[in-house]
A and B are shown apart, each in its own frame.
Chain A
């Protein structure tokens, strides 16, 4: 993709395990955000990390950002079946318009 990639495309884990998703982008950014999507419908914002931040936490979520590598990762600790969803990263560069990655489909087995 000319915009960026997320990997893995799909992730299947057992409840209680940690899930790590990665996002790479190709432009300089102001911030990067992670969203969750259930059942192919509306997206819900999870966390925003600014370009001058390296790590951010929210509950069981931990996001890291490495602007030198143009990459970010989302870690979900102690996963639950309810975490099953698709997760997308989105970044803003010089525009207000967020550009989205292709997403990671996470399945957490009870």
Chain B
């Protein structure tokens, strides 16, 4: 596709349920990032994938959060046993693997845990 695609756009789930958020990066971009943004706040780094290297999971807030990237392309962020504090916009971005390059963001998934 022409840009980073995320699905769903919006997700309402009940507390305690598991959710999966999907990200389709730009073709050819080997770097993929997940961020979380709570209302009115900045972006909180979650996880970073680069090619076939082990992902940098240092930003994941708890073991309820996990992510995978299949075939170096599509990524899925999974949140198990969702809590109300997980409510946020989850943003995915991709880029070329270069220090001096921009990241391209998807439109995000707005997750609401009720």
Measured CB to CB, the nearest residue on chain A to B101 is: A48
Smallest CB gap from A3: residue in B: B42
The contact size tier of chain A is: 20 to 34
Number of A-B contacts (CB under 8 A): 59
Contact assessment for B37 and A40 in the assembled complex, using a CB-CB cutoff below 8 Å: yes
Docked pose: A101 CA to B45 CA in angstroms: 11
Q: Once bound together, how far apart are the Cα atoms of A105 and B35, in whole Å?
A: 19
Tell me which residues from 94 to 114 in chain B have a Cβ below 8 Å from any Cβ of chain A.
97, 99-108
Chain B residue nearest to A94 (CB atoms) is B99
Within 8 A of A (CB), among B64-100: 89, 91, 93, 97, 99-100
Interface set of B (CB-CB < 8 Å, partner A) = 4, 31, 33, 35, 37, 39, 41-43, 45, 48, 50, 56, 89, 91, 93, 97, 99-108
